[in-house]
Every structure is written in C-alpha cells, then in structure tokens.
C-alpha cells in the first residue's frame, strides 16, 4: 500500500489556504531555506508513516464533520514525496475537494522535472504557491504567503484568483489536543520568534 511520511495533520483549518481545509505537513525537504518556519520537518527521517487510504479516511471524516472544501499539502516539501502525494491528491479531487500545495520549487522547474510522479502531482494541483521562503522579504499583504518572492498559481478553474479571502488578514491558530499545544498559520512578522519558540508543547 502506498504510504506518506507525515509530520503533522490539522483536520480543519482556515490558516493554510482559502476556506475550511485539512492540512497535511510531510516530513522531509531537500531545501534549506534560511529561517524555515518548520526546521523540524526538514530531515526525511521522522514523522509517521501513513497509508494514503488512512489519510483519505480522515479527509472524508473532515468533509462530514467539519465541512472542509479542500486539502493543503505543506512540509517539508510535497514534491519530494510525489509518488504518494500524487495518489493522495488525485483521490482528494475525486471527493470534489481542491488541492493546494506550498512548494519551495518553482513551477517552471516542476513542469520539466523528468520524474513523471512529480508532473502527476502537479496535474492534481489546483493552487500552487511556489518559490523558496526568503525571510528578508516578508509578505505584507497577500494572505497565506510567507515571502514576497513567492507566487500564487491558480492552475485550474476550481480555484478563483478573485476570491476575496486572499485579501483578508493572516491568522494564527493555537490548539490544545491531548495535552499538547500546537500552532499553525502565519503570524505577524514581529511575532515569528514567539511562534517558533512555542512550537508543539506537551502539557503534562
């Protein structure tokens, strides 16, 4: 069975793309962007091995219980997990949901990648935010975008570039689940240090 190495899952969030979405962070990234927001997700070792089938079961539950409208893949680097991620994204779209991906690679490089699995994942993507994170160029106005060099590509008609939600303020979500505090989203630039220090915290 196809598996993915998963670092974190948030079953319903409004801080990782337009609308109510499930967000899936993958474990492992070959890039080393200075100031990466998720440095603990850079090594390919770690995380939890999950079957695509089990992840889809969670997505279906989120559709029923939280009425999500899409799934966002982050990392780590989703295109470095293209085999399992492509299968997952294709089946997510069969459920009528949109797929959004944050990638440190640029679209032009993804399009010519010789790995057919990478192109298969791109074909199952509705919204792509591309480009390496640049901590010296914080994004002041576009929601869900980390740095000003990164671009938003609406790859299918299932995503609307004129959706007003792209122009609303960023949010930071803090949760307490089973005694652990987790944080996701995009804080104000001057609060990023606090965000990283908080990270996942176990409250026993």
Per residue in 84-139, pLDDT tens?
Answer: 999 999 999 999 999 999 999 999 999 999 999 999 999 999 999 999 999 999 88
Pairing of strands 3-13, 151-154: unpaired
Structure tokens belonging to residue 52: 């695509």
CA-derived radius of gyration, the chain? 16
Query: Which pLDDT score is estimated for 75?
Result: 92
For the cut 50, the answer to whether the pLDDT of residue 190 exceeds it is no
Structure tokens belonging to residue 170: 């960023």
Confidence of residue 166 (pLDDT cuts 50, 70, 90): confident
Average pLDDT over residues 10-27: 96
Confidence of residue 204 (pLDDT cuts 50, 70, 90): very low
For the cut 70, the answer to whether the pLDDT of residue 196 exceeds it is no
Average pLDDT over residues 48-65: 98
Q: Which of the pair, 196 or 101, is modelled with greater confidence? A: 101
Q: What distance lies between CA 77 and its chain's CA centroid?
A: 9
Per-state percent for the chain, helix, strand, coil, to nearest 5: 30, 25, 40
For the cut 90, the answer to whether the pLDDT of residue 177 exceeds it is no
Query: Which pLDDT score is estimated for 168?
Result: 83
Q: Which of the pair, 95 or 178, is modelled with greater confidence? A: 95
Average pLDDT over residues 132-147: 90
Confidence of residue 66 (pLDDT cuts 50, 70, 90): very high
Number of DSSP helices (H) and strands (E) in the chain, helices first = 5, 10
Query: Which pLDDT score is estimated for 187?
Result: 54
Are the C-beta atoms of 143 and 149 separated by less than 8 Å? no
pTM for the model stands at 0.88
Query: Which pLDDT score is estimated for 173?
Result: 85
Structure tokens belonging to residue 25: 């962070």
Q: What is the mean pLDDT of the chain?
A: 89
């Amino acid at each position: 069975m196809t598996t993915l190495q998963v670092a974190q899952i948030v079953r319903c969030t409004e801080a990782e793309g337009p609308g109510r979405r499930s967000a899936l962070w993958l474990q492992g990234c070959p890039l080393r962007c200075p100031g990466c927001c998720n440095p603990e997700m850079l090594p390919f070792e770690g995380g939890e091995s999950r079957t695509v089938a089990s992840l889809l079961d969670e997505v279906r539950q989120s559709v029923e219980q939280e009425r999500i409208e899409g799934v966002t893949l982050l990392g780590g680097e989703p295109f470095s997990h293209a085999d399992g991620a492509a299968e997952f994204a294709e089946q997510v779209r069969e459920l009528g949901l949109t797929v959004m991906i944050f990638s440190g690679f640029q679209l032009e490089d993804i399009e010519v990648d010789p790995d057919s699995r990478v192109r298969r994942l791109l074909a199952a993507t509705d919204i792509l935010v591309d480009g390496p994170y640049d901590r010296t160029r914080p994004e002041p106005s576009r929601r869900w975008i980390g740095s000003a060099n990164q671009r938003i590509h609406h790859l299918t008609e299932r995503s609307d570039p004129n959706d007003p939600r792209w122009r609303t303020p960023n949010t930071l979500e803090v949760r307490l689940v089973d005694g652990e505090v987790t944080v996701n989203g995009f804080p104000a630039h001057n609060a990023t240090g606090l965000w990283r220090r908080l990270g996942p915290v176990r409250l026993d």
